[in-house]
Structure 1
């Protein structure tokens, strides 16, 4: 009897925990597009017309619209973007719109955690806004659609389509600045950190210590205010290379810098090394 009761309870639990999955009326869409060196990501829901009049009826003119369905329509950039001379810093923004017959106002809003429009609209959360003219399209677009089109190295258009209406938002990206920065960095040669990291790797990996000495000296020559941790590694490299006097000098400099910074761990390590080397 106990086994029957346990089995009955198990079947009841399974029945209550079972979930029936059905298609969403406004399915979720995710879009990724690289523009130059910037990744643009979109996440939004796609309602359908279903023989309804959309703009001016289902979506009233002159009222704030969630721009889609369900949760916020969100656009994300992994580098800064510019819309109407307004810089959108790398990050995520909700897209809200105020449609009208001949033009729309588009808002890029910093709060992306709303279901529909915010309960309280906060002008301070508008990172950028732009007014654009509507364009008529044929044939009708049954399902609400957003795309990133008209690509170039530094520009693209965010385009919103539904029914017979399309609006296009031009976006600019700092591709040229990023490329020129990369070019200048590479053409100017390795940085102090590059030489430092290479030198420390050679030290800890038991590679050519003489090469490690050359790299750490190049790194230190490029640094004006030499930090205690770099001086510490320089002393260890000199010590391993058998350059005791230079090792002691670097350790003393590291000790004084560590004292000034209040880092007792490095103070102790340098004192221990100096006691050993002297």
Structure 2
């Protein structure tokens, strides 16, 4: 910076011409602007992912330093950069809503107009300027209102994400003894669906698993079920498996197509391994459908009579009928063939059977 300009800038600061906002940026007009030298107000970033949407705030962090901040260093009723040095910026990887108002994906200059009882938070299309000195209302992309609240003291200005939920979070400015939150919401389902469709055009679209995962996500969220069914059919065309047939059955059930659902599930059982069939039956039992579970357990040994999981199924069947000696015998055989990591879970079940305690309860 030319010495003449430094002198003029120092004079302006000294005279108070660049009051308030400038004091949060310049220290007697001498903070470096041309060289890579540490600044008084250091740079910070904070990020939060909501669903698949990334939100990042980049800012500089002035300190209170014994000053009276609100209404003095930061005047009420005037546009403030909500930080120091260059524009505070906020970046959204996808479209969002801020305090219920839509805002497109992109990077924005973040400004505020503080007041005692209500703040205005401004998202400017200009994100590359110095502070708020060249702020132009015509470049506003969005304005929202925010309610300040008393909070624990923060000497250095800090942005945090609070009250994080599955589809929203509150971005909060904290400085001195004040917190100013504004809620950012994301249409997570729409964003994920767009991402999934794009991924299916890539490597994920060349396997049974990619289409199955996409359909499973739709089913889990009760969303886009008709297209999910088409994706599951594509998965099955790539490779018919228990997993995709079982998922197809549940999608059909969710669509109210009960007969087709039952047929798909029957085909899935035909494809299932002993472990898959046992796991499915056990899931039914845990969810309270013991009757159906015990209709399926006898089918497990028919898949592979010598598999340890088949002996576990038979142990459950015998325990359910009160035949504890047979149940204990089957459990012993299950433990003998089970992986070491599984043995530790089965051994307590054997002790219960030896004590004539039904392991299904």
- Alignment TM class, shorter chain as reference: 0.5 to 0.7
Aligned position for 2:231: 189
* 2:194 corresponds to 1:152: no
The alignment yields a C-alpha RMSD, in angstroms, of 2.6
- Residue 121 of structure 1: CA displacement? 1.3
2:144 & 2:130 partners in 1: Cα distance? 23
Structure 2, unaligned runs of 5 or more: 1-33, 197-217, 219-223, 239-361
Aligned position for 2:148: 134
* 2:168 corresponds to 1:168: no
TM-score (normalizing by structure 2): 0.45
Segment drifting more, 180-189 vs 55-64 = 180-189
Bigger relative contact order (CA 8 A; separation at least 6)? 1
Aligned position for 1:74: 89
Structure 1, unaligned runs of 5 or more: 1-18, 199-278
Aligned position for 1:213: none
1:25 & 1:83 partners in 2: Cα distance? 31
Equivalent pairs, count:
174
Specify the SS of the correspondent of 2:59: strand
Specify the SS of the correspondent of 2:231: coil
Q: Which has the higher helix share?
A: 2
1:189 & 1:49 partners in 2: Cα distance? 57
2:126 is aligned, of 105, 111, 123, to: 111
Aligned position for 1:247: none
- Residue 89 of structure 1: CA displacement? 0.9
Contact 2:51/2:192 (8 A) holds in 1: no
Are the structure 2 counterparts of residues 51 and 175 from structure 1 closer, same or farther at C-alpha, using a change threshold of 3 Å? same
- Residue 146 of structure 1: CA displacement? 0.8
Q: Which has the higher strand share?
A: 1
Contact 1:96/1:109 (8 A) holds in 2: yes
Are the structure 2 counterparts of residues 71 and 155 from structure 1 closer, same or farther at C-alpha, using a change threshold of 3 Å? same
2:35 & 2:193 partners in 1: Cα distance? 54
TM-score (normalizing by structure 1): 0.57
Are the structure 2 counterparts of residues 20 and 42 from structure 1 closer, same or farther at C-alpha, using a change threshold of 3 Å? closer
- Residue 85 of structure 1: CA displacement? 3.1
